């Protein structure tokens, strides 16, 4: 697997541009334009521009952040007017919102020395309250595409460049950006970041220096599943000016028509016209591709027929003429290169010794990449003076005062003072806080900032109560709200019952000396809580199972989450719908003891997850698809069996639809078909290997013929530690009296 290394881009830093001689006003405009383009990639140009005022105001606020006279006042704890973090940008938007109607206070809003920027900001501050609220909501909605994703937020909060394409364009190196683990929206933003950073690097290279390079010098950019980024203005520019930049661009897509769906026909044709050397395999060829790739000896219809009859593994290549003004060679067929030695499927796979050496070398590459080019883990490279935005190790980044309020809540639980919001010593609170915050981050902040934050916070009351020998603190009403974790979107469900059980577990563990951190739930399948103890060298991962015992794959997914973090999972069950907790615990124990369903017939049936088999983000993603099987026998259930070392997909009638050797290397053509969904036209398009796509105008029509395939839980590959024992997890019960 590829380690979690985030490229150390300093996206908003204009210092490199200024060093290259770019005028400050132009460098700032470029950053504003790039930021706008990233959000457009996610929302789509039409949706982004729906709100006329919000996109323009985002650009003006970005310009205010770079203001040489007032920039350091716009957003908390600024260090330089050449850069800022995304958190600081959000704080500036909050400043702007707070200074608006019905009682505008322009002096409290972000300021700018540029008269045009200042006038535009003040004009919005003096608009009517409803309009102003809509405009600010539009800004926030657009910024949330970055804010809500932890990976993107870390990159956009990084202000010290660790990765710069300018340092690599003259190196004989291959750089791989693996975006497979990112959500589809985040992957598009990340692709946009990479493209804009590359564009800034290639366009600023000295022309005379490029002219002195050898004739065969070229930088190569390959984009897999490229249909989602063809709407990027930056990519369009790179395609049009690639020769000028000595940049070769290769776009790879299995379904070229999806480029048209992601953008429009004009975008699609622009891509086709700017591709000089197409390589075409056995794909569904539409009229535009056939027209673009036809030639004197083969008209569009003949070309389309030729492609549809291609055997698997054969390609058609069309190369430009090496001489200007001359017709290039006719398209010709080519075969792929053989599988290289060392690949597991080659004729010469690695020996055990070679494989060990390869693993050591790969780990060395990962470590070098992490240290030299990446923003690893949960912190940014820059050490800030700010006493806010401290990263919690097991939760989202939180302002320090909120983290401190939650530490007070935990200290109250440990001291049996939670129900009365009793006083607890600041020493106990600081000790609890420091156990939750990454050590390197708090050292960078400075321990001396803690009393200042505590005194200034509206969440915390600080005093020396009568009879106390040291300073004490407790929560204000506002602090009570901030200190209560948001479990409302917990994927395990359960509502009030779930939260009541979780509160009992939190109290019990805190009384036993554990530091318990209940996590906010944001729909990303987090555990309910993390518990640590000073006498133990391992962590507990708490999972309250109020309903998931009836979904075995969900229980096993929770086990996997804990194993991935090298934690001991604590599964907690309570009485549910008249079923005693002890019976539910027995059911849970059986699932964990045998993580697959052994039928009385002797067959092994796998538990089915609640998500489908998808590729590139699934059917609703711009270039993604979901696996489907024909609707037969009246049943829409997915049934996976383990037979002869393979995974077999059957329907209720016993008809076989797929046989998969490994889900680590599964491909689209191993299923009967895949489908994509276009939300704008509400159209379902089914792709069968070797056949033209077939569209359905309604969900009912689609579901009458096709059933999405759910993915099985495969213990041998889905669990980091498949050979676990009973000692690697624990099950606890909570009785009727919540004890």
Residue 732 CA to residue 150 CA, distance in Å, equals 32
Q: Put residue 702 in one of left, alpha, beta given phi > 0 → left and psi -120 to 50 → alpha.
A: alpha
How many Å separate Cα 254 from the centre of its chain?
A: 23
Residue 75: which residues within 8 A CB-CB, separation 6 or more?
A: 65, 84, 85, 87, 88, 89, 91, 92, 95, 110
191-213: per-residue pLDDT in tens?
A: 999 999 999 999 888 777 788 88
pLDDT at position 457:
86
Contact between residue 625 and residue 668 where contact means Cβ atoms under 8 Å apart: yes
Contact between residue 408 and residue 460 where contact means Cβ atoms under 8 Å apart: yes
Mean per-residue pLDDT for 4-8? 84
pLDDT at 2 over 60: no
Residue 138 CA to residue 145 CA, distance in Å, equals 12
pLDDT at position 389:
31
Mean per-residue pLDDT for 632-645? 85
Percent of the chain, pLDDT > 70? 90
Scan for tokens 């409302």, then name that residue: 488
Residue 664 CA to residue 441 CA, distance in Å, equals 36
243-267: per-residue pLDDT in tens?
A: 889 999 998 887 777 776 665 677 7
pLDDT at position 455:
84
pLDDT at position 110:
95
Mean per-residue pLDDT for 133-142? 91
Choose between 452 and 662: higher pLDDT: 662
Alpha-helical segments (H) within 44-128: 45-50, 53-65, 86-98, 115-125
Helix 129-147 vs helix 86-98: crossing angle, to nearest 10: 170
pLDDT at position 60:
97
Mean pLDDT of the chain: 84
483-538: per-residue pLDDT in tens?
A: 887 765 444 445 678 888 888 898 899 888 888 888 876 545 678 889 988 888 88
Choose between 701 and 2: higher pLDDT: 701
Residue 201: which residues within 8 A CB-CB, separation 6 or more?
A: 164, 165, 166, 169
35-73: per-residue pLDDT in tens?
A: 999 998 888 777 887 778 999 999 999 999 999 999 988
pLDDT at position 384:
31
Residue 151 CA to residue 189 CA, distance in Å, equals 11
Residue 240 CA to residue 207 CA, distance in Å, equals 17
Mean per-residue pLDDT for 168-178? 90
Q: Is 488 exposed, middle or buried (0-12, 13-18, 19+ CB in 10 A)?
A: exposed
Q: Is 634 exposed, middle or buried (0-12, 13-18, 19+ CB in 10 A)?
A: exposed
pTM above 0.75, yes or no: no
Residue 105 CA to residue 121 CA, distance in Å, equals 12
pLDDT at position 675:
96
pLDDT at 354 over 80: yes
Q: Is 109 exposed, middle or buried (0-12, 13-18, 19+ CB in 10 A)?
A: buried
> Cα–Cα distances in Å, from 712 out to 291, 457, 561, 716?
43, 49, 17, 12
CB atoms within 10 A of CB 358: 12
Give me 112's structure tokens.
């700018």
Confidence of residue 139 (pLDDT cuts 50, 70, 90): very high
């Amino acid at each position: 697997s590829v380690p979690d290394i985030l490229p150390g881009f300093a996206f908003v830093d204009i210092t490199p541009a200024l060093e290259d001689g770019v005028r400050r006003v132009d460098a700032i405009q470029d950053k504003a334009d790039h930021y706008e383009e990233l959000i457009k990639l996610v929302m789509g140009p039409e949706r982004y521009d729906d709100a006329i005022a919000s996109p323009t105001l985002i650009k003006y606020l970005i310009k205010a952040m770079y203001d040489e006279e007032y920039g350091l006042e716009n957003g908390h704890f600024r260090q330089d007017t050449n850069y800022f973090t995304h958190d600081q940008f959000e704080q500036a938007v909050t400043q702007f919102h707070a200074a608006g109607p019905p009682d505008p206070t322009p002096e409290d809003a972000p300021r700018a020395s540029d008269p045009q920027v200042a006038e535009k900001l003040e004009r919005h501050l003096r608009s009517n309250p409803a309009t102003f609220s809509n405009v600010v909501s539009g800004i926030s909605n657009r910024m949330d595409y970055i804010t809500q994703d932890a990976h993107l937020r870390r990159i956009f909060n990084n202000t010290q460049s660790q990765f710069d394409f300018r340092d690599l364009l003259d190196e004989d190196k291959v750089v791989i950006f693996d975006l497979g683990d990112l959500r589809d929206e985040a992957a598009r933003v990340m692709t946009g970041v990479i493209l804009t950073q590359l564009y800034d690097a290639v366009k600023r290279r000295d022309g005379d220096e490029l002219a002195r390079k050898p004739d065969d010098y070229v930088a190569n950019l390959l984009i897999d599943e490229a249909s989602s980024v063809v709407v990027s203005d930056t990519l369009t520019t790179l395609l049009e000016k690639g020769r000028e930049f000595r940049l070769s661009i290769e776009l790879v897509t299995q379904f070229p028509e999806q480029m048209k769906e992601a953008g429009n026909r004009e975008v699609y044709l622009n891509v086709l016209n700017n591709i000089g050397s197409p390589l075409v395999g056995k794909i569904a060829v539409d009229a535009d591709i056939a027209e673009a790739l036809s030639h004197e000896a083969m008209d569009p219809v003949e070309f389309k027929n030729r492609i549809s009859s291609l055997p698997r593994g054969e390609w058609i290549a069309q190369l430009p003429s090496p001489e200007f003004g001359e017709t290039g060679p006719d398209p010709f067929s080519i075969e792929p290169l053989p599988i290289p030695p060392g690949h597991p499927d080659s004729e010469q796979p690695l020996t055990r010794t070679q494989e060990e050496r390869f693993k050591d070398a790969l780990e060395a590459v990962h470590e070098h990449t992490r240290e030299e080019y990446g923003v690893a883990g949960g912190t940014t490279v820059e050490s800030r003076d700010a006493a806010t935005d401290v990263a919690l190790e097991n939760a989202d980044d939180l302002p320090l005062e909120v983290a401190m309020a939650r530490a007070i809540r935990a200290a109250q639980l440990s001291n049996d003072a939670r129900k009365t919001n009793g006083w607890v010593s600041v020493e106990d609170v600081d000790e609890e806080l420091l156990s939750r915050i990454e050590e390197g981050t708090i050292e960078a902040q400075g321990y001396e900032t803690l009393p200042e934050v505590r005194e200034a916070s509206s969440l915390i009351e600080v005093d020396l109560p009568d009879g106390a020998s040291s300073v004490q603190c407790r929560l204000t009403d506002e602090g009570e709200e901030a200190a209560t974790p948001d479990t409302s979107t917990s994927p395990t469900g359960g509502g009030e019952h779930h939260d009541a059980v979780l509160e009992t577990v939190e109290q019990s563990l805190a009384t036993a000396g554990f530091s318990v951190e209940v996590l906010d739930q944001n729909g990303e399948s987090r555990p309910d809580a993390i518990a640590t103890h000073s006498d133990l060298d391992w962590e507990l991962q708490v999972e309250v199972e109020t309903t998931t015992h009836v979904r075995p794959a969900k229980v096993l997914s929770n086990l996997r989450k804990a194993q991935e973090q090298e934690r001991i999972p604590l599964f907690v069950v309570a009485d549910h719908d008249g079923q005693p907790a002890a019976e539910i615990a027995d059911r849970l124990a059986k699932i964990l003891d045998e993580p697959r369903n052994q039928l009385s017939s002797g067959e092994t049936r796998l538990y089915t997850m609640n998500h489908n088999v998808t590729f590139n983000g699934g059917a609703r993603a711009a270039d993604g698809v979901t696996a489907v099987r024909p609707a037969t026998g009246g049943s829409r259930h997915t049934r996976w069996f383990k037979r002869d070392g393979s995974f077999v997909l059957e329907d209720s009638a016993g008809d076989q639809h797929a046989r998969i050797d490994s889900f680590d290397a599964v491909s689209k053509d191993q299923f009967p078909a895949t489908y994509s969904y276009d939300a704008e036209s509400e159209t379902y398009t089914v792709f069968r290997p070797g056949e033209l796509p077939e569209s359905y105008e309604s969900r009912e029509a689609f579901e009458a013929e096709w059933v999405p395939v759910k993915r099985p839980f495969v213990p041998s590959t889905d669990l980091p530690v498949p050979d676990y024992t009973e000692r690697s997890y624990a099950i606890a019960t909570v009785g009727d009296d919540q004890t």
